Structure 1
């Protein structure tokens, strides 16, 4: 198995365009302000929704496992993607901006 390309949350701007592959309830609780919600199970059917960018597209989940699988699969499909190391737990722990869909304090579930 080849090494999965990664990026640290601290190396991304707070409003970075990231693909969040967590489930709906996790997304609602808190996510990066510039994130696009695309649950892991939906990716194969929704490849056309992946944004086009000149840089590697960061993929994030709660702790890095699901996004790692997504990155591995997307790389095989020819996409330029990177796994956000430590996921949203690391994003939140490093003090990065977050927003929620509930209007309450964003958090990682």
Structure 2
């Protein structure tokens, strides 16, 4: 009886493990290949992947906002990003443009997600979170300034 149970459990785990590795159909095959002209910044999702951010970051209608602490920023940041530590955002709302697409980033996407939600609750409509933060940016091999 124990042997049959163990065999059933092992088979079920094998099936689940093999399904877990399947790529998502909507995931781009080569995320580094996103082109700026192919991105409609007016219709970005709430959470934006690093390949999309890389493609649009140099546009005049896009602003990158880094909400990490100054020492984190000094250790490495996305070229051209504006530093605005998370704790200062509520008193610096007037510095965040309302006529541009704002992409918020941090170390892993957690703080930037919180700030994105805060900004949206406070009337900002074109604000987005960069998924995975600077860690995902570096994993993708994109440039970092120190």
Say whether residues 1:73 and 2:96 are aligned partners.
no
Where relative contact order (Cα < 8 A, 6+ residues apart) is larger, the structure is: 1
- Work out the CA distance in 2 between the residues paired with 1:41 and 1:26: 14
Structure 2 unaligned blocks of 5 or more:
1-44, 58-62
Structure 1 unaligned blocks of 5 or more:
101-109
Normalised TM-score (structure 1): 0.81
Normalised TM-score (structure 2): 0.61
How many residue pairs match? The answer is: 96
State the SS of the aligned residue for 1:73: helix
Larger Rg computed on CA atoms: 2
What do you get for the CA RMSD once the two structures are aligned?
Answer: 1.7
Q: Give, in angstroms, the shift of residue 48 of structure 1.
A: 1.2
Q: Moved runs in structure 1, 4+ residues, more than 2 A?
A: 51-54
More helix by share: 2
